[in-house]
Amino acid sequence: MIEKEEIGFVLRSHLPARYKLSIYCVDKGKIELTVKNFAQCSKICPGMVVTFFCSHCQGKGFFSDGIKILDPRLSQSYEDIMWMHHVLETFYYFVPMEYPSVELFNYLVSCAGLLENQFIFGQNIENVKKVFILRFFIISGLFPGGEKIKFDQFESLKFLDIDFENEQKVKFLSELAAKFNETHQKELNRWIVGCFKRHPCFGEFKTLKFCSY
């Protein structure tokens, strides 16, 4: 059955082995999408926002005759691309299949928004990027067993609502990141790495080596 048009972020491309993409959608969550049109599939890269109509075959996953690029997101620096790929890889491994969440989708939107608005944070941008990774684990409920972050700002991070349309929220995030000293940064790194180590495929993460954790 053909369903309504979907919109999603491409998490991973499985080319050339398979004509398949891992995508996080608003309505379906994370899905594996087989794109029958190879010419279109070959133009899709992780980080792109795409739209498509798909059909579901019980036991065989989702299929689409075509896919359109809504936002290519190609005008970024090498560091920005690697960080976004880190976010996407985290999604790919940690988010369960077909688990739709408006909050998680909005989180991906805010990550893309961070790269467009990073000039706001100046030299504190690396701290803000760490806050964004930490936010993923917080909203997913993926905490290291029994461990807590040992600094006061953590309580603020737990309830942080990231919205680049709201000037006050952006200002709060900027001021919060500016308060992180070396001890805070080490504690953030320890906690984030602890989250990643909980995953059974921790050794397969490819983007961790590009991050200063």
**What is the structure's pLDDT at 98?**
92
**Same domain (yes/no): 106, 162:** yes
Q: Is residue 51 domain-shared with residue 84, that is, in the same domain?
A: no
Which has the higher per-residue pLDDT, 75 or 135?
135
Range of the domain at 130: 78-210
Query: Are 28 and 118 contained in the same domain?
Result: no
Total domains in the chain come to 2
Global pTM reads 0.88
pLDDT score of 187 more than 90: no
* pLDDT (average), residues 37-65: 87
Per-residue pLDDT band for 156 (boundaries 50, 70, 90) equals low
pLDDT of residue 28: 92
DSSP summary character for residue 157: H
Q: Which pLDDT value is given to residue 92?
A: 95
Per-residue pLDDT tens for 93-108? 999 999 899 999 999 9
Q: What is the pLDDT of residue 63?
A: 92
Q: Could you tell me if 140 and 157 lie in one domain?
A: yes
Q: Is residue 89 in some structural domain? A: yes
**Residue 28 DSSP one-character state:** T
- Predicted confidence at residue 69, as pLDDT, reads 93
Output the CA–CA distances (angstroms, integers) from residue 26 to 85, 100, 202, in the order listed.
19, 6, 27
- Tokens at 163, concatenated: 């919205």
**Comparing C-alpha atoms, which of 89, 105, 94 is closest to residue 26?**
105
For residue 147, name the pLDDT band (cuts at 50, 70, 90). Answer: low
Residue with tokens 């491994």: 93
Q: Are 61 and 85 in the same domain?
A: no
150 pLDDT tier (thresholds 50, 70, 90): low
Q: Of 163 and 86, which is predicted with more confidence?
A: 86
Q: Are residues 99 and 165 both part of a single domain?
A: yes
Distances from the Cα of 128 to the Cα of 59, 96, 182, 188, 199, angstroms: 41, 26, 14, 11, 24
pLDDT tens digits for 72-100? 876 678 888 889 999 999 999 999 999 89
